[in-house]
A and B are shown apart, each in its own frame.
Chain A
Amino acid sequence: KQEVTQIPAALSVPEGENLVLNCSFTDSAIYNLQWFRQDPGKGLTSLLLIQSSQREQTSGRLNASLDKSSGRSTLYIAASQPGDSATYLCAVSNNNDMRFGAGTRLTVKP
């Protein structure tokens, strides 16, 4: 059974810092991995999708990497801004559904 873990559970940084969020999963036979952002009381916004054959994806200040063999992914956020404050969720797919981690709650202080 796939287990997804995100570390840290919460992170607070000053504006402008570069930061890394971590995601690990127990079953490396995945189809893809997706990073989402969730604002309080809102739905999920897709940030990046990495296929199993890919090593990384980039979008603006975001870069996500995937190491399938070790069961890890990282989300790198460059030059963080207060507007980046949200919960970041990692999800992996083995079968017909995606399994989610519990998320990292990020606060970027002005």
Chain B
Amino acid sequence: NAGVMQNPRHLVRRRGQEARLRCSPMKGHSHVYWYRQLPEEGLKFMVYLQKENIIDESGMPKERFSAEFPKEGPSILRIQQVVRGDSAAYFCASSPYSIPNTGELFFGEGSRLTVL
């Protein structure tokens, strides 16, 4: 059973370009979470999705950021018109159950975005 797979592992973009980060959850997991980690800071929650639905996006900036988790395929975190402040490590986690139902989070290796 493969772990949470994220790609690309490293992504370089110039200001104004778009970044797309992909996350394939562990087999059997229908709950996906995205977190952002800035250098020397802790992880900050961005968005929680369950197949085809956004459950909680309270941690995601209102503009330029969007997330989806389609019925088929990986979850996508999309950042439009990137700025230098978007440079960070973006982590995806998956769980077979929701957190209130004893969901344990399993994390991927992260995607490290650098904006030039």
A residues in contact (CB < 8 Å) with B: 4, 31-32, 34, 36, 41-46, 49, 51, 89, 91, 93, 95-103
Contact = CB atoms under 8 A, between A and B. Distances in A.
A98 B100 CA distance: 10
B42 interface: yes
A1 to B, nearest CB: 11
B105 A98 contact: yes
B45 A98 contact: yes
Contacts of A51: 102
A98 B44 CA distance: 9
A97 B42 contact: no
Contact of A44 (B48, B55, B91, B100): B91
Contact of A46 (B35, B55, B91, B104): B104
Q: How large is the interface on B (under 10, 10 to 19, 20 to 34, 35 or more residues)?
A: 20 to 34
A46 B105 contact: yes
Nearest to B31: A96
Provide the main secondary structure of the chain A interface: strand
B91 to A, nearest CB: 6
Contacts of A42: 109-110
B65 interface: no
B107 A97 contact: no
Interface string B22-47: 00000000000101000001111100
B2 interface: no
Given A43-B108, A44-B43, A99-B45, 12 more contacts: A31-B99, A31-B100, A31-B102, A36-B107, A43-B6, A46-B104, A46-B106, A96-B56, A96-B98, A97-B45, A97-B56, A98-B99
